[in-house]
Amino acid sequence: MNRTESLQEKPDPIKEGLKTIGIEAPSDKLFKLEKLLTLVTAYNSHTNIIADSTPEMIRSRHILDSLAALQFWPGAADSASDNKALSLIDLGSGAGFPGLVLAIWKENLKVTLVDSNSKKIRFLEEAASALELGNRVKTVHARLEELGRDPAFRGRFDLVSARALGHLALNAELGLPLLKRGGNSLFYKTEKQAKEEAPVLYSMLESLGGGEIEILVPEIQEGNSKHVLIRIEKLNRGSDSFPRAWKNIKRDLDRYKTGAKSG
C-alpha cells in the first residue's frame, strides 16, 4: 500500500462520530462542513476568531462536538417530527460552533447567531452566505444581556445554545428568557464544569421559568474531558427582572469564582 492509498482510507472523524449515534452523513452536508472548516481557517489567518484552527482540531473539537446535540434533538425518537420547523438562537456564536454547524445539518432549522464582537459577526455573515444557508440564518450584533429584555427576542425560540460562554448560571440567565414555553436549552459543558456549576443555578431556576437541570452525556466524545449537554425546559415566562444588568451579573460571577477557589 502506498502513501496515497493510506491517506484515502483514513476514516472521516465526523462520519465515524455520527455513526456512533446512528446517523448517516450525507455527502452534501459533509461537503458544507468541510467548507465551513476552510472558511474558519482562512478568516482566522488574519482575524482571531478561534484559538486552535488546525483542521484536525476543528473537525473533532468543534464540528463533531457541535453535532453531539443531534442525539438529543427534539423529536429525535419520532421520525415524523424530524421535519418540524424549529428556531434556535446561538449565544456567543464566535466561529459558528454550534450555530452554523446545526444550521448546515438541520435544514428545517432557523438559526439566529448572536455575538457582541463585530469581527465575528462579519465572519458569520460571510460564512452563512458562502454556505448558501439563505434566509434560515441571520446574525445579531448585540450585548447578550440586552436580548432577553427585547420583545423581539424574549420568548421567541424553541432552542437556545451556548458553547464556551462562561458559567452555567450565565448561560441560563441569558438564554432561558429567550425560550418559548416548552423550549429547551442546549448548553455545552464539560462534565466537571456541569457538576461544579449546576448547584449555583438551582436557586435561580424558578425566577428564570426553568424546569429541572438535565445533564446529558453524548456518545460522541472527543478530547480528554468528557463533554455533556445541559438541557433545561422552559416552563413559564419567568420573572421580568431577568436577565439583569451586566454589572449585577458580573458581581455574581465574580462571587462564584471566589467561592470555587476557596472551596
Q: What is the CA radius of gyration of the chain?
A: 18
Domain ranges of the chain: 10-262
Residues 6+ apart with CB under 8 A from 155: 177, 178, 179, 180, 181, 237
According to the CATH classification, is domain 10-262 in 3.40.50.150?
A: yes
Give the lowest-confidence range in 9-13, 50-54, 104-108: 9-13
Task: Say how far residue 187 (Cα) sits from the centre of its chain.
Answer: 6
Percentage of the chain modeled with pLDDT above 90: 85
| Cis check: omega of the bond before 243, within 30 degrees of 0 | yes
Task: Count Cβ atoms within 10 A of the Cβ of residue 221 and give its class: 0-12 exposed, 13-18 middle, 19 or more buried.
Answer: middle
pLDDT, residue 163, reads 97
Residue 63 per-residue DSSP state: I
Q: CB–CB of 234/210 below 8 Å?
A: yes
53: confidence class by pLDDT, cuts 50, 70, 90 = confident
Bridge partners (DSSP) listed for residue 227: 190
Phi, psi of 142 (to 5 degrees): -160, 160
For the entire predicted model, the pTM comes to: 0.93
pLDDT in tens, 125-146: 999 999 999 899 999 999 999 9
What is the C-alpha to C-alpha distance for residues 159 and 178, in angstroms, rounded to an integer? Answer: 9
pLDDT in tens, 73-120: 997 544 445 678 999 999 999 999 999 999 999 999 999 999 999 999
pLDDT in tens, 164-176: 999 999 999 999 9
What is the C-alpha to C-alpha distance for residues 221 and 52, in angstroms, rounded to an integer? Answer: 18
Q: CB–CB of 95/63 below 8 Å?
A: no
